[in-house]
Structure 1
Amino acid sequence: MALSVTRERDVDLRVESVEGGGGGLSRVEQGLEVEFDRATVVRKRRSVGARTDRGTWVRIERRQLSRLREHGWDGTECAEALTDIAKPQWLKSVAWKDLTDGAMWRADETTLLPGHPVGTAVLATGPQLPEEWWRDLNASLDALAGQRTARIATPDTELITQALVNRTIQAAFPARADTAIRTWVPAHADLNWANTTGPQFCLFDWEDWGNAPQGLDSASLLGASLAVPALADRVRRERHRDLESRDGKVMTLFVFAKFAGPNAHPGDPRVSVARQEAAQLIQELQAA
Protein backbone atom coordinates (compact mmCIF):
# COMPACT_ATOMS: atom_id res chain seq x y z
CA MET A 1 0.00 0.00 0.00
CA ALA A 2 1.42 3.42 -0.93
CA LEU A 3 2.10 5.83 1.92
CA SER A 4 0.36 9.18 1.76
CA VAL A 5 2.66 12.19 1.43
CA THR A 6 1.72 15.52 2.96
CA ARG A 7 2.06 18.25 0.35
CA GLU A 8 3.83 21.37 1.56
CA ARG A 9 2.34 24.71 0.64
CA ASP A 10 3.55 28.27 0.92
CA VAL A 11 1.61 30.36 3.41
CA ASP A 12 1.55 34.12 3.91
CA LEU A 13 0.50 34.79 7.51
CA ARG A 14 -0.39 38.38 6.64
CA VAL A 15 -3.49 37.08 4.87
CA GLU A 16 -4.12 33.63 6.37
CA SER A 17 -6.30 33.22 9.46
CA VAL A 18 -4.20 33.14 12.62
CA GLU A 19 -6.99 32.26 15.03
CA GLY A 20 -7.70 28.67 13.97
CA GLY A 21 -5.84 25.99 12.09
CA GLY A 22 -2.43 24.48 12.77
CA GLY A 23 -0.87 27.62 14.20
CA GLY A 24 -3.83 29.34 15.83
CA LEU A 25 -3.28 31.94 18.56
CA SER A 26 -5.56 30.02 20.93
CA ARG A 27 -3.37 26.93 20.62
CA VAL A 28 -0.30 28.95 21.59
CA GLU A 29 -2.13 30.56 24.48
CA GLN A 30 -2.91 27.13 25.83
CA GLY A 31 0.60 25.81 25.32
CA LEU A 32 2.34 28.77 26.96
CA GLU A 33 -0.44 29.44 29.50
CA VAL A 34 -0.86 33.05 28.45
CA GLU A 35 -3.54 35.28 26.98
CA PHE A 36 -2.80 37.51 24.00
CA ASP A 37 -3.80 41.13 23.70
CA ARG A 38 -5.41 40.89 20.27
CA ALA A 39 -4.98 44.64 19.75
CA THR A 40 -1.20 44.20 19.69
CA VAL A 41 -1.03 41.43 17.06
CA VAL A 42 1.63 42.04 14.40
CA ARG A 43 1.43 39.92 11.25
CA LYS A 44 4.34 39.28 8.88
CA ARG A 45 4.77 36.91 5.97
CA ARG A 46 6.03 33.97 8.02
CA SER A 47 5.40 35.04 11.61
CA VAL A 48 2.81 36.49 13.95
CA GLY A 49 3.55 38.23 17.24
CA ALA A 50 1.53 39.63 20.14
CA ARG A 51 1.84 40.93 23.68
CA THR A 52 0.71 38.67 26.53
CA ASP A 53 -1.12 39.25 29.78
CA ARG A 54 2.08 38.66 31.77
CA GLY A 55 3.96 41.49 30.09
CA THR A 56 5.91 39.43 27.58
CA TRP A 57 5.98 39.01 23.80
CA VAL A 58 5.33 35.83 21.81
CA ARG A 59 6.46 35.31 18.22
CA ILE A 60 4.87 32.44 16.30
CA GLU A 61 6.64 31.17 13.21
CA ARG A 62 5.76 28.64 10.52
CA ARG A 63 8.39 26.83 8.44
CA GLN A 64 8.11 24.06 5.92
CA LEU A 65 9.59 20.73 6.97
CA SER A 66 11.97 20.72 4.01
CA ARG A 67 13.56 23.95 5.23
CA LEU A 68 14.04 22.61 8.74
CA ARG A 69 16.30 19.85 7.48
CA GLU A 70 18.79 22.43 6.32
CA HIS A 71 18.19 25.44 8.52
CA GLY A 72 16.87 24.40 11.90
CA TRP A 73 14.74 27.05 13.53
CA ASP A 74 15.62 27.50 17.18
CA GLY A 75 17.57 30.70 16.62
CA THR A 76 15.80 32.76 19.29
CA GLU A 77 16.38 30.10 21.92
CA CYS A 78 20.01 29.52 20.91
CA ALA A 79 20.69 33.27 20.94
CA GLU A 80 20.08 33.24 24.69
CA ALA A 81 23.64 31.90 25.07
CA LEU A 82 25.06 35.07 23.47
CA THR A 83 26.46 37.69 25.84
CA ASP A 84 27.01 41.46 25.85
CA ILE A 85 24.35 42.09 23.19
CA ALA A 86 21.31 44.33 23.55
CA LYS A 87 18.48 41.90 22.76
CA PRO A 88 15.31 40.51 24.36
CA GLN A 89 15.63 37.67 26.87
CA TRP A 90 14.24 34.31 25.76
CA LEU A 91 11.88 32.73 28.29
CA LYS A 92 9.97 29.74 26.91
CA SER A 93 8.86 28.01 23.72
CA VAL A 94 6.45 25.43 22.34
CA ALA A 95 6.66 23.65 18.99
CA TRP A 96 4.47 21.24 17.08
CA LYS A 97 3.99 19.62 13.69
CA ASP A 98 0.95 20.25 11.51
CA LEU A 99 0.19 16.79 10.11
CA THR A 100 -2.15 18.17 7.46
CA ASP A 101 0.01 20.96 6.09
CA GLY A 102 3.61 19.77 5.85
CA ALA A 103 4.85 22.42 8.25
CA MET A 104 6.28 22.96 11.71
CA TRP A 105 5.16 25.71 14.05
CA ARG A 106 7.11 27.29 16.88
CA ALA A 107 6.21 29.96 19.41
CA ASP A 108 8.90 31.76 21.43
CA GLU A 109 8.15 33.90 24.45
CA THR A 110 10.57 36.73 25.22
CA THR A 111 10.77 39.87 27.30
CA LEU A 112 9.26 43.00 25.78
CA LEU A 113 11.29 45.34 23.62
CA PRO A 114 12.52 48.56 25.29
CA GLY A 115 10.97 50.68 22.54
CA HIS A 116 9.36 50.62 19.13
CA PRO A 117 11.03 49.47 15.90
CA VAL A 118 13.01 52.30 14.33
CA GLY A 119 10.98 51.93 11.15
CA THR A 120 10.29 49.63 8.26
CA ALA A 121 13.03 47.34 6.97
CA VAL A 122 14.16 49.97 4.44
CA LEU A 123 13.97 53.64 5.41
CA ALA A 124 12.97 56.54 3.18
CA THR A 125 13.57 59.24 5.83
CA GLY A 126 16.27 59.51 8.43
CA PRO A 127 15.45 58.47 12.02
CA GLN A 128 16.32 60.63 15.01
CA LEU A 129 18.66 58.41 17.02
CA PRO A 130 20.77 59.45 20.03
CA GLU A 131 24.53 58.90 20.12
CA GLU A 132 23.98 56.14 22.66
CA TRP A 133 22.06 54.18 20.03
CA TRP A 134 25.07 54.06 17.71
CA ARG A 135 27.37 53.22 20.60
CA ASP A 136 25.19 50.27 21.61
CA LEU A 137 24.82 49.11 18.00
CA ASN A 138 28.59 48.97 17.63
CA ALA A 139 29.10 47.26 20.97
CA SER A 140 26.49 44.61 20.20
CA LEU A 141 27.71 43.81 16.69
CA ASP A 142 31.33 43.67 17.82
CA ALA A 143 30.43 41.42 20.75
CA LEU A 144 28.42 39.13 18.47
CA ALA A 145 31.27 38.76 15.97
CA GLY A 146 33.63 37.78 18.78
CA GLN A 147 31.60 34.77 19.93
CA ARG A 148 31.44 31.20 18.67
CA THR A 149 28.67 29.01 17.28
CA ALA A 150 28.16 25.97 15.10
CA ARG A 151 25.07 27.54 13.52
CA ILE A 152 25.15 28.80 9.92
CA ALA A 153 23.23 31.98 9.18
CA THR A 154 20.19 31.91 6.90
CA PRO A 155 19.67 35.44 5.50
CA ASP A 156 16.31 35.59 3.73
CA THR A 157 15.83 32.01 5.08
CA GLU A 158 18.55 30.68 2.74
CA LEU A 159 21.64 28.98 4.15
CA ILE A 160 24.59 31.22 3.37
CA THR A 161 27.47 29.46 1.61
CA GLN A 162 30.34 30.48 -0.62
CA ALA A 163 28.39 29.13 -3.58
CA LEU A 164 25.36 31.28 -2.71
CA VAL A 165 27.54 34.38 -2.38
CA ASN A 166 29.19 33.77 -5.75
CA ARG A 167 25.91 32.98 -7.51
CA THR A 168 24.03 35.98 -6.10
CA ILE A 169 26.75 38.50 -6.97
CA GLN A 170 27.42 37.07 -10.41
CA ALA A 171 23.75 37.19 -11.36
CA ALA A 172 23.54 40.92 -10.60
CA PHE A 173 27.07 42.15 -11.30
CA PRO A 174 28.69 39.82 -13.85
CA ALA A 175 32.05 41.64 -13.98
CA ARG A 176 34.75 39.26 -12.79
CA ALA A 177 36.00 39.71 -9.22
CA ASP A 178 37.33 37.39 -6.55
CA THR A 179 34.44 36.94 -4.09
CA ALA A 180 36.02 34.18 -1.99
CA ILE A 181 35.25 34.65 1.72
CA ARG A 182 38.15 34.50 4.17
CA THR A 183 36.60 35.22 7.55
CA TRP A 184 33.35 33.83 8.98
CA VAL A 185 31.92 35.20 12.23
CA PRO A 186 28.55 35.05 14.03
CA ALA A 187 26.01 37.46 12.54
CA HIS A 188 22.38 38.37 13.17
CA ALA A 189 21.76 37.90 9.41
CA ASP A 190 18.57 39.99 9.28
CA LEU A 191 19.76 43.39 10.45
CA ASN A 192 17.46 46.10 9.17
CA TRP A 193 15.54 49.04 10.59
CA ALA A 194 12.46 46.95 11.39
CA ASN A 195 14.50 44.66 13.67
CA THR A 196 16.03 47.38 15.83
CA THR A 197 14.36 49.60 18.40
CA GLY A 198 14.78 53.25 19.29
CA PRO A 199 15.55 55.50 21.01
CA GLN A 200 17.10 52.69 23.09
CA PHE A 201 18.95 50.22 20.91
CA CYS A 202 17.81 46.60 20.92
CA LEU A 203 18.27 43.98 18.22
CA PHE A 204 15.50 41.39 17.90
CA ASP A 205 14.21 38.59 15.62
CA TRP A 206 17.13 36.17 15.99
CA GLU A 207 15.67 33.29 13.98
CA ASP A 208 18.32 33.34 11.25
CA TRP A 209 21.54 34.12 13.12
CA GLY A 210 24.72 32.08 12.77
CA ASN A 211 28.14 32.12 11.16
CA ALA A 212 28.35 34.32 8.06
CA PRO A 213 31.00 36.23 6.13
CA GLN A 214 32.44 39.14 8.07
CA GLY A 215 30.50 42.32 7.35
CA LEU A 216 27.11 40.81 6.49
CA ASP A 217 25.25 42.70 9.22
CA SER A 218 26.94 46.02 8.49
CA ALA A 219 26.32 45.64 4.76
CA SER A 220 22.68 44.75 5.41
CA LEU A 221 22.13 47.91 7.46
CA LEU A 222 23.88 49.96 4.78
CA GLY A 223 21.66 48.48 2.09
CA ALA A 224 18.57 49.38 4.11
CA SER A 225 19.80 52.98 4.42
CA LEU A 226 20.83 53.92 0.87
CA ALA A 227 17.68 55.95 0.18
CA VAL A 228 18.77 58.39 2.90
CA PRO A 229 22.31 59.57 2.01
CA ALA A 230 23.08 61.03 5.43
CA LEU A 231 21.97 57.82 7.16
CA ALA A 232 24.01 55.66 4.77
CA ASP A 233 27.06 57.82 5.46
CA ARG A 234 26.54 57.40 9.18
CA VAL A 235 26.38 53.62 8.82
CA ARG A 236 29.59 53.71 6.76
CA ARG A 237 31.37 55.71 9.46
CA GLU A 238 30.16 53.62 12.36
CA ARG A 239 30.82 50.26 10.67
CA HIS A 240 33.86 51.21 8.61
CA ARG A 241 36.04 48.37 9.93
CA ASP A 242 33.57 45.83 8.57
CA LEU A 243 32.63 47.62 5.38
CA GLU A 244 36.20 48.49 4.37
CA SER A 245 37.48 44.96 4.91
CA ARG A 246 37.81 42.70 1.91
CA ASP A 247 35.00 40.39 3.08
CA GLY A 248 32.91 43.44 3.95
CA LYS A 249 33.16 44.65 0.36
CA VAL A 250 32.06 41.23 -0.88
CA MET A 251 29.12 41.28 1.53
CA THR A 252 28.14 44.75 0.36
CA LEU A 253 28.03 43.40 -3.20
CA PHE A 254 26.00 40.43 -1.95
CA VAL A 255 23.43 42.67 -0.22
CA PHE A 256 23.22 45.15 -3.12
CA ALA A 257 22.79 42.29 -5.61
CA LYS A 258 19.52 41.32 -3.96
CA PHE A 259 17.77 44.56 -4.86
CA ALA A 260 19.89 46.22 -7.56
CA GLY A 261 20.31 43.43 -10.11
CA PRO A 262 18.72 43.29 -13.58
CA ASN A 263 15.28 42.61 -12.07
CA ALA A 264 15.41 45.58 -9.69
CA HIS A 265 12.16 47.36 -8.87
CA PRO A 266 12.07 50.52 -11.00
CA GLY A 267 10.73 52.58 -8.11
CA ASP A 268 13.43 51.62 -5.59
CA PRO A 269 15.48 54.79 -4.93
CA ARG A 270 18.45 52.73 -3.77
CA VAL A 271 19.13 51.02 -7.08
CA SER A 272 21.18 53.67 -8.90
CA VAL A 273 23.33 54.35 -5.84
CA ALA A 274 23.88 50.63 -5.23
CA ARG A 275 24.91 50.02 -8.84
CA GLN A 276 27.41 52.89 -8.77
CA GLU A 277 28.92 51.67 -5.51
CA ALA A 278 28.96 48.08 -6.76
CA ALA A 279 31.03 49.10 -9.79
CA GLN A 280 33.55 50.78 -7.50
CA LEU A 281 33.68 47.79 -5.15
CA ILE A 282 34.30 45.41 -8.06
CA GLN A 283 37.24 47.56 -9.20
CA GLU A 284 38.69 47.54 -5.69
CA LEU A 285 38.34 43.76 -5.40
CA GLN A 286 39.90 43.27 -8.83
CA ALA A 287 42.86 45.43 -7.83
CA ALA A 288 43.40 43.74 -4.45
Structure 2
Amino acid sequence: MAATPMPVCRSPVVSQEYVARAIPRYVGETNVDATVTRWSLAHGDLHWANLTMPELTILDWEGFGPAPFGFDAANLYAYSLPVPEVAADVRRAFAHVLATPDGRLAELIVAAMIVQAAERDDVHARLAPLVLKHVRGSRSVGGA
Protein backbone atom coordinates (compact mmCIF):
# COMPACT_ATOMS: atom_id res chain seq x y z
CA MET A 1 0.00 0.00 0.00
CA ALA A 2 2.94 2.35 0.54
CA ALA A 3 3.27 2.83 -3.22
CA THR A 4 -0.41 3.75 -3.62
CA PRO A 5 -0.95 7.48 -4.03
CA MET A 6 -2.67 9.07 -1.05
CA PRO A 7 -6.16 10.37 -1.75
CA VAL A 8 -6.43 14.05 -0.92
CA CYS A 9 -9.88 13.58 0.61
CA ARG A 10 -8.70 11.34 3.48
CA SER A 11 -7.74 12.71 6.87
CA PRO A 12 -4.46 11.43 8.27
CA VAL A 13 -4.54 8.47 10.65
CA VAL A 14 -2.59 10.68 13.07
CA SER A 15 -1.54 14.30 12.72
CA GLN A 16 1.90 15.79 13.18
CA GLU A 17 0.47 17.79 16.07
CA TYR A 18 -0.70 14.59 17.81
CA VAL A 19 2.71 12.95 17.30
CA ALA A 20 4.58 15.91 18.79
CA ARG A 21 2.24 16.04 21.80
CA ALA A 22 1.60 12.32 22.46
CA ILE A 23 5.08 10.80 22.36
CA PRO A 24 6.50 12.86 25.25
CA ARG A 25 3.25 12.60 27.23
CA TYR A 26 2.67 8.85 26.91
CA VAL A 27 6.12 7.41 26.15
CA GLY A 28 8.48 9.94 27.74
CA GLU A 29 11.81 11.25 26.50
CA THR A 30 12.97 9.33 23.45
CA ASN A 31 15.82 11.36 21.92
CA VAL A 32 14.03 10.88 18.59
CA ASP A 33 12.95 13.79 16.43
CA ALA A 34 9.15 13.51 16.36
CA THR A 35 8.85 15.24 13.00
CA VAL A 36 7.22 12.93 10.47
CA THR A 37 9.13 13.41 7.23
CA ARG A 38 7.70 10.46 5.31
CA TRP A 39 3.99 9.72 4.97
CA SER A 40 2.38 6.77 3.22
CA LEU A 41 -1.07 5.32 2.82
CA ALA A 42 -1.96 3.04 5.75
CA HIS A 43 -4.79 0.84 6.95
CA GLY A 44 -4.52 2.67 10.25
CA ASP A 45 -5.74 -0.13 12.54
CA LEU A 46 -3.76 -3.16 11.45
CA HIS A 47 -3.84 -5.79 14.20
CA TRP A 48 -4.78 -9.45 14.49
CA ALA A 49 -8.53 -8.86 14.92
CA ASN A 50 -8.55 -7.23 11.49
CA LEU A 51 -6.84 -10.13 9.70
CA THR A 52 -8.40 -13.40 8.60
CA MET A 53 -6.97 -16.81 7.83
CA PRO A 54 -6.39 -19.24 6.21
CA GLU A 55 -6.99 -16.85 3.30
CA LEU A 56 -5.63 -13.43 4.19
CA THR A 57 -8.21 -10.69 4.18
CA ILE A 58 -7.68 -7.33 5.84
CA LEU A 59 -10.85 -6.06 7.50
CA ASP A 60 -12.02 -2.71 8.92
CA TRP A 61 -10.82 -0.17 6.37
CA GLU A 62 -12.85 2.84 7.49
CA GLY A 63 -9.83 4.48 9.16
CA PHE A 64 -7.36 4.24 6.26
CA GLY A 65 -5.44 7.30 5.21
CA PRO A 66 -2.07 8.99 5.28
CA ALA A 67 0.12 7.89 8.19
CA PRO A 68 3.76 8.03 9.16
CA PHE A 69 5.72 5.52 7.10
CA GLY A 70 5.83 2.19 8.90
CA PHE A 71 2.68 2.81 10.93
CA ASP A 72 0.90 -0.43 9.96
CA ALA A 73 4.00 -2.57 10.52
CA ALA A 74 4.60 -0.92 13.90
CA ASN A 75 0.98 -1.44 14.89
CA LEU A 76 0.94 -5.11 13.95
CA TYR A 77 4.23 -5.63 15.77
CA ALA A 78 2.94 -3.92 18.92
CA TYR A 79 -0.17 -6.11 18.97
CA SER A 80 2.10 -9.17 18.56
CA LEU A 81 4.17 -8.49 21.68
CA PRO A 82 2.07 -10.72 24.00
CA VAL A 83 3.28 -13.72 21.95
CA PRO A 84 7.06 -13.35 21.64
CA GLU A 85 7.42 -15.93 18.85
CA VAL A 86 4.82 -14.13 16.74
CA ALA A 87 6.37 -10.75 17.53
CA ALA A 88 9.76 -12.05 16.38
CA ASP A 89 8.23 -13.28 13.11
CA VAL A 90 6.50 -9.93 12.50
CA ARG A 91 9.70 -8.06 13.33
CA ARG A 92 11.66 -10.18 10.83
CA ALA A 93 9.00 -9.76 8.14
CA PHE A 94 8.99 -5.98 8.51
CA ALA A 95 12.65 -5.39 9.45
CA HIS A 96 13.17 -3.40 6.25
CA VAL A 97 10.63 -0.89 7.62
CA LEU A 98 10.96 -1.10 11.39
CA ALA A 99 14.78 -1.05 11.46
CA THR A 100 14.85 2.49 10.07
CA PRO A 101 14.46 5.93 11.66
CA ASP A 102 10.96 6.18 10.12
CA GLY A 103 10.06 2.78 11.56
CA ARG A 104 11.36 3.77 14.99
CA LEU A 105 9.21 6.89 14.94
CA ALA A 106 6.20 4.81 13.87
CA GLU A 107 6.79 2.48 16.83
CA LEU A 108 6.88 5.43 19.22
CA ILE A 109 3.65 6.81 17.77
CA VAL A 110 1.90 3.46 18.10
CA ALA A 111 3.21 3.09 21.65
CA ALA A 112 1.80 6.49 22.58
CA MET A 113 -1.56 5.59 21.09
CA ILE A 114 -1.71 2.28 22.96
CA VAL A 115 -0.72 3.83 26.29
CA GLN A 116 -3.32 6.55 25.81
CA ALA A 117 -5.98 3.92 25.04
CA ALA A 118 -4.94 1.91 28.11
CA GLU A 119 -6.86 4.40 30.20
CA ARG A 120 -10.07 3.29 28.46
CA ASP A 121 -9.97 -0.49 28.02
CA ASP A 122 -8.45 -3.72 29.30
CA VAL A 123 -6.93 -4.85 25.98
CA HIS A 124 -4.73 -1.78 25.74
CA ALA A 125 -4.09 -1.78 29.49
CA ARG A 126 -2.53 -5.25 29.14
CA LEU A 127 -0.61 -4.27 26.01
CA ALA A 128 0.76 -0.93 27.26
CA PRO A 129 3.50 -2.29 29.58
CA LEU A 130 4.81 -4.57 26.83
CA VAL A 131 4.90 -1.75 24.30
CA LEU A 132 6.60 0.63 26.72
CA LYS A 133 9.17 -2.01 27.62
CA HIS A 134 9.87 -2.51 23.92
CA VAL A 135 10.26 1.15 22.96
CA ARG A 136 12.18 2.07 26.10
CA GLY A 137 14.43 -0.97 25.76
CA SER A 138 15.23 -0.38 22.09
CA ARG A 139 16.51 3.18 22.10
CA SER A 140 18.55 2.64 18.97
CA VAL A 141 17.12 2.27 15.48
CA GLY A 142 16.05 -1.28 14.85
CA GLY A 143 16.42 -2.54 18.40
CA ALA A 144 14.18 -5.47 19.23
The TM-score, its normalising length taken from structure 1, stands at 0.43
Choose between structure 1 and 2: higher helix proportion.
2
Q: Which residue does 2:133 correspond to in 1?
A: 276
Aligned pair in 2 of structure 1 residues 229, 185: CA closer, same or farther (>3 Å)? same
8 A Cα contact 1:145 1:187, kept in partner? yes
Pair 1:234 & 2:93 matched = no
8 A Cα contact 1:189 1:210, kept in partner? yes
SS in 1 for 2:34: coil
Distance 1:267 1:195 in 2: 19
- For CA contacts below 8 A with separation 6 or more, give which structure has more relative contact order: 2
Q: What displacement does 1:224 show? A: 1.1
Structure 2 counterparts to residues 183-194 of structure 1, below 5 A:
183-194=38-49
Distance 1:164 1:267 in 2: 20
8 A Cα contact 2:42 2:71, kept in partner? yes
Q: Which amino acid aligns with 2:130?
A: V
Over aligned residues, Cα RMSD in angstroms? 2.1
Q: Which residue does 1:174 correspond to in 2?
A: 28
Q: What displacement does 1:173 show? A: 2.0
Q: Which residue does 2:19 correspond to in 1?
A: 165
SS in 2 for 1:198: coil
Gaps of 5+ in 2: none
Q: Which amino acid aligns with 1:249?
A: R
Structure 2 counterparts to residues 1-288 of structure 1, below 5 A:
144-149=1-6, 150=8, 151-154=10-13, 160-175=14-29, 176-260=31-115, 268=126, 270-281=127-138, 283-284=139-140
8 A Cα contact 2:32 2:105, kept in partner? no
8 A Cα contact 2:34 2:105, kept in partner? yes
Structure with larger Rg: 1
Q: What displacement does 1:255 show? A: 1.1
Q: Which amino acid aligns with 1:218?
A: A
